Structure 1
Amino acid sequence: MDRIQFRRTALALTAAGVLALGWFAAPSRAAEEAFIIPPPSADIAPAKGLKTFVLAGGCFWGVQGVYQHTKGVTNAVSGYAGGKASTANYEATTRGNTGHAEAVQITYNPNEVSLGKLLQIYFSVVHDPTQLNRQGPDTGTQYRSTVFTSDPAERKLVQDYIAQLNGAKVYKKPIATTLEPLQGFYPAEDYHQDYLTLHPNQPYIVFNDLPKIENLKKIFAENYREKPALVREAKATN
């Protein structure tokens, strides 16, 4: 049994135990509850053409899934960022010593959804930004909350938004999200792409990730779309 099979099997057994105890009655019992937060006080003006943005917030399956269901996002690819190309693979990244985080590269149309809105979704329903080097059952620097920026305006927007949310005391603890310069993004293995859509009944997905989709639909109804923008479909059109 390889590393990913072992990890997901252990989580599946945990979820099965929860089911047996009768706790797991609805997707609302997520590992992280959604936060109702204000939008950024400032945003970046729309620009022509598609834009890309890379962020990390725990296992990339759920992060990718949320943005695939977000209007204006044309593609969301699971991958690795923060380390070298030579260690940009799942086996190495799971060791937690490569510098990589499980990340998602988001391609979006800024005339349909702003970067500020994508960040609001990130800090609200994608993950718990107050957790340091972990999300839910996943621990290690590879699951850190990080925004990778390659543009000064993007970096300022993220910095100002974090300061705004901390100042408003939206969360019980300070935000642990870090900002890192984007040195490179490396797409993950094919079996990680569109994972949430392809495995909706897997206990890990049911317990940790489907509630994120439900929260997106409930809290950001105007930004939610039922049909996800899948990586395989984007590849087919290119």
Structure 2
Amino acid sequence: MALAAEQAVEAPAAKRKASEGAGLKTAIFAGGCFWGVEAVFSHVDGVKSAVSGYHGGTKRQASYSLVSSGMTDHVEAVKVTYDPKLVRYDELLQIFFSVVADPTLKNRQGPDRGAHYNAELVPLSAEQRAVAAAYLTQMKASGVWKKPIVTSIGPARTFYAAEDYHQDFAAKNPRHGYIQRWDKPKIASLKAMYPEHYRAAFVRN
């Protein structure tokens, strides 16, 4: 399970189920360092790609050196493409808040500090937006989290893919200290808490 610094929390199953129809769908999730967000979603059965990148700012600002300075309008984010026949958007939300992001933290996650690490949901359809709003309301009333929930729903802006060396980072660098300390436990929590959604192999971008 997750280490003490980032305990996994079993988020409630959504009362408002997503109904998105046939065909692949895409949504954006910001939840701290994109390495871990991508790593978890890459192990979710039904996810077809998980691309690390930047969301919220301009094209000129979309570089790791600028974003990591904290001086841009971007957050580190992951664009997730999934098959709703295999995993629904509301199930992705449950996984996200269970093992990826602490919804009570503002401008930080895990060891990382700064507005570029803020947790934010970015729905890319009216259905996703309705489901996300209903789920945040449900989370606030659930009593699962003792502190106020501050994760918000953001407007969809242009998503810029991060540099190639950030893509599939956990898969390419499984012995990296950050991956071992912060992201490997998240994947273990996914497997333990949601075995029906866990896929052992990474989906590669």
**For residues 63-82 of structure 1, what are the structure 2 equivalents within 5 Å?**
63-82=37-56
Letter aligned with residue 105 of structure 1: K
Which whole-Å CA distance do the structure 2 matches of 1:203 and 1:150 have between them? 34
Structure 2 gaps of 5+ residues are none
The aligned residue for residue 137 of structure 1 is 111
Letter aligned with residue 172 of structure 1: K
The aligned residue for residue 128 of structure 1 is 102
Which whole-Å CA distance do the structure 2 matches of 1:195 and 1:56 have between them? 16
Give the structure with the higher percent helix. 1
TM-score, scaled to structure 2: 0.97
The aligned residue for residue 32 of structure 2 is 58
Which whole-Å CA distance do the structure 1 matches of 2:99 and 2:108 have between them? 16
1:40, distance to aligned residue in structure 2 (A):
0.8
The aligned residue for residue 154 of structure 1 is 128
CA contact 1:30–1:207 (8 Å) conserved in 2: no
Question: 1:45 pairs with 8, 13, 19, which one?
Answer: 19
CA contact 1:55–1:103 (8 Å) conserved in 2: yes
Deviates more, 1:121-130 or 1:212-221: 121-130
Which whole-Å CA distance do the structure 1 matches of 2:71 and 2:183 have between them? 25
Question: 2:198 pairs with 224, 229, 232, which one?
Answer: 224
Which whole-Å CA distance do the structure 2 matches of 1:119 and 1:43 have between them? 11
Runs of 4 or more, structure 1, over 3 Å off, are none
Larger Rg: 1
CA contact 1:127–1:135 (8 Å) conserved in 2: yes
1:120, distance to aligned residue in structure 2 (A):
0.3
**For residues 165-184 of structure 1, what are the structure 2 equivalents within 5 Å?**
165-184=139-158
Length, aligned pairs only: 205
Which whole-Å CA distance do the structure 2 matches of 1:42 and 1:178 have between them? 18
Please give the secondary structure, in 1, of the residue aligned with 2:50: strand
Question: 2:57 pairs with 56, 60, 83, which one?
Answer: 83
Which whole-Å CA distance do the structure 2 matches of 1:152 and 1:114 have between them? 15
Letter aligned with residue 183 of structure 1: R
CA contact 2:28–2:124 (8 Å) conserved in 1: no
1:31, distance to aligned residue in structure 2 (A):
2.9
Which whole-Å CA distance do the structure 2 matches of 1:216 and 1:89 have between them? 30
Confirm whether residue 108 of structure 1 aligns to residue 82 of structure 2: yes
Letter aligned with residue 173 of structure 1: K
CA contact 1:46–1:111 (8 Å) conserved in 2: no
Letter aligned with residue 165 of structure 1: M
Question: 1:202 pairs with 168, 173, 176, which one?
Answer: 176
CA contact 2:11–2:95 (8 Å) conserved in 1: no
TM-score, scaled to structure 1: 0.84
